Amino acid sequence: MQPTMLSGSFMGNAVLRREDLDLLTGSARFVGDINPPSTLHAVFVRSVMAHAQLAAVDCQTARSAPGVVGVWTAEELPIGAQRLFARLPEELTRLPLTDKARYVGDPIAVVVAKSRAAAIDAAELVEVDYLPLPALVDPFEALQPDAPLVIEAHGSNKAAEFSVKAETDELSGHDLVVSGRFINHRMAAAPIEPSSFLAVPSSAATTDDDSVAHVQGDKAVPNLTLWCSTQRPHEVRSQVAAALNMTQEDVRVIAPAVGGGFGAKAAVYPEFLVVSWLASTLAQPVKWVETRSENLVNMVQARDVVHDVELGVTREGDFCWIKIRAVSNAGAYPSIGGILPLITMMMATGPYRIPVVDYEAVSAITNLTPLAAFRGAGRPEAAVTLERIVDRAATQLGMDPAELRRRNLLTPGDFPYRTPTGANMDCGDYVQALDLALEKAGYSQLRAEQAQRRAAGGSKLLGIGVSSYVEITAMNLHTEFGAVTVELDGTITARVGTASHGQGHATAYSQILGEVMGVRADQVRVIDGDTGEVPRGVGTVGSRSLQLGGSAVLTAAQHVVDKAKRLAAGLLEADIDDIVVTPAGLAVAGVPAVAMSWADLAQAAAAPTDELPEGVEPGALSHETDFDQGESSYPFGAHVSVVEIDTETGDVRLLRHISVDDCGRILNPILVQGQVHGGVASGLAQALYEHSTFDDEGNPRNTNFADYAIPAASELPRFETAHTETPTPTGVASPRRRQICMNAKLRFRGCLTELPHRG
């Protein structure tokens, strides 16, 4: 695969990323790089206890420390408790600065000083008098009737519960019941850039900082401009505006370069509200940059669910039913983490034909870091559980695990398929993906080598992991904004409601515009992550950016081309059906000399109405849309992992990893390959390296990268990848369509877990 620069190469080609030059040369600006004059710095005083009443918070010494502007506690901050998540009970709320410690890292007070060093020093002078309470670490203990309450107003430590019940007589037809308890342990998102936030009030708008001056331009200055490392700038705008009693027009949120997110930066953190209020109140810019140690205890964490599973199978290996009891540790302030078992329930049968499901789940509130979305958000938990129980069934049946999977996988003729838990699956060829993965792995030879090693009696044995998976994307987030404008100089501006944080959106959207409008990448400007430039948008979550944001850009571009064709046909005195898109603009088919450039067309469209051809609407050559996909799509694939296990030491060494993933039509193989490589690395990291741990009192045991292990590239093998491309049978006109299923942000589940790309 030979990559090319984007100049006439459009969809489907291996095109180098536009974004990389700025990142590699250091020209990309992150929030931490933006420093308006007179910026104040915020540092948060955090709880050192997992559960405690706050008898007193003494800030007097800190307030008199050098360089300190002020110190605030919950009593002095006029921001009310915020509801945690709309689908959870109303009484589950959180104060931006807590009045009771509910996990180690809970923000108690905030110090603002003229320098970050002064703020750090002063924060250490704040004295907190704790009245310890029993810490709830185990979700099963938290759900006991006599357990102390984490959020008293709720009256329970049960955040939510979900179920799909089967009748007793439906759990039948089996010859064998295979059971097991599977723990999907807790882990940290650990993006390369921790949370960071800068708030600049309009009273401090005059500045010589290039980044700030650039975004202000000649636009009306909002009351508050926020630079935020986020995946969802419009959601940050909404929550900050509501908390500060402002209109959304009063707040502008900009996500500049963002160093990874993986779902954890979809959250709106209480620190964002506090810093926004401070900047507005003090009439000066205020900046907060999280340390790595803060990040590993304060940024929302992931997984942490226990599944007790029973699978009913026949002697021939047919799946009859599955029963799952799930208990999720949602942490201290459950937001979306409280409903992740619902998503797991949706995917409880995965790619398999399992006619009956009996599922019960409960999310427990505990005294650990809150749980929320992270690369898959509930779907990987289903995949891990299914693949573990299928392997256990294969062992008890004496059947090859790949063959057991093949026997039960849904086939193309089964689609469209509605699962027992309500997922409307559009299409899939799961057997093809599994067979390709096994072929690339040399599965039969691996099994022979495995048997030889066992027979030889040595200590180095071969482990072979096989996995089939299916994903759900854009769950309940089926709409995204996109707009395309032809500027007077002939360049193309695309505005889209997604927010890139490493995926390569600018490259992908440029390729779409090249396909539709025939323009080169250097003619395209992609604007995202800025609520001042993009009026609305969901953001980058749910593995949905290119299929929705890309479809929005595609649809808007098609409308622009249609208008441009009507305009060109009138001005060139040609039939509209004879107007074609060329690299130079629009031309009459077969007569390339009779053409109009995009600049000519944009200027003509801006002419007075009486100068426009009949039937051409006046106004700029532009179009905006809110693309609605209607339903989710279901990408899928299969992986094979080969490891060497030393039975004397327990050491596990990864030898090979083979992945086959189907994400629909592939827009850019380089972008997909990058996502696969980073994803496999992170999935293996969860299986073999990463684990957020706490002691019995709720104290975190790994608060830096010396203790929280992330593997280096040198610790991983060369990844072997392949892809299938399965088009949806429902077509682009159907409400169940996948109009662009060519994910630059690949969605897949690996042998051991969901596999995110780092950094």
pLDDT tens per residue, range 474-490: 888 889 999 999 999 99
- Residue 216: which pLDDT band, with cuts at 50, 70 and 90? very low
**Which range is least confidently modeled, 29-33, 184-188, 571-575?**
571-575
Tell me which of 3.30.750.24, 3.90.180.10, 3.90.1170.50, 3.30.2420.10 is the CATH number of domain 34-133+190-205+212-298.
3.90.1170.50
What pLDDT shows up at residue 204? 81
Structure tokens at 657: 């990893």
Backbone phi, psi, residue 7, to 5°: -155, 80
Instruction: Dig out the tokens for 309 from the structure.
Output: 């599973």
Which pLDDT belongs to residue 575?
92
CB-based contact 757:678 (threshold 8 Å): yes
Handedness of CA 294, 300, 301, 304 (dihedral sign): positive
Q: Do domains 301-475+631-723 and 479-628 have the same CATH topology?
A: yes
Per-residue model confidence as pLDDT tens digits over 547-561: 899 999 999 999 999
CATH number of 479-628: 3.30.365.10
730 pLDDT above the threshold of 80: no
Task: Output the CA–CA distances (angstroms, integers) from residue 704 to 14, 291, 299, 391, 707, in the order listed.
Answer: 37, 10, 13, 35, 6
Task: Please determine, for residue 610, whether its predicted confidence score (pLDDT) is greater than 80.
Answer: no
Q: What CA–CA distance (Å, rounded) separates 751 from 759?
A: 22
In whole angstroms, give the CA distance from residue 375 to residue 188. Answer: 11
pLDDT at 220 (0 to 100): 58
Q: Work out the pLDDT band at 209, boundaries 50, 70, 90.
A: low
Sign for the CA dihedral angle at 221, 226, 231, 234 comes to negative
Share of the chain above pLDDT 70, in %: 92
pLDDT tens digits, 265-275:
999 999 999 99
Does the pLDDT at position 320 exceed 60?
yes
b/e per residue, 399-438, with b = 16+ CB within 10 A?
bebbebbbebbbeeeebebebbbebebbbbbbbbbbbbbb
What is the predicted pLDDT for the residue at 665? 86
Mean pLDDT for 592-611 is 88
pLDDT tier, 700 (very low <50, low <70, confident <90, very high otherwise) = very high
pLDDT classification of 756: cutoffs 50, 70, 90: very low
Q: What is the mean pLDDT of residues 371-378?
A: 89
The mean pLDDT of the chain is 90
CA distance 666 to 660: 13
State yes or no: pLDDT of 194 exceeds 70.
yes
Q: Where are the alpha helices (DSSP H) in 255-321?
A: 270-282, 292-298
Domain 301-475+631-723 has CATH 3.30.930.10: no
58-72: pLDDT as tens digits? 999 999 999 999 999
The residue extents of the domains of the chain are 34-133+190-205+212-298, 301-475+631-723, 479-628
- Answer yes or no: is pLDDT of 732 > 50: no
Share of the chain above pLDDT 90, in %: 80
Q: Note the pLDDT of residue 11.
A: 79
Residue 611: pLDDT over 80: no
Predicted pLDDT at 221? 65
- Where is average pLDDT lowest: 102-116, 229-243, 396-410, 671-685? 671-685
In this structure, are residues 160 and 362 in contact, taking their beta carbons and an 8 Å threshold?
yes
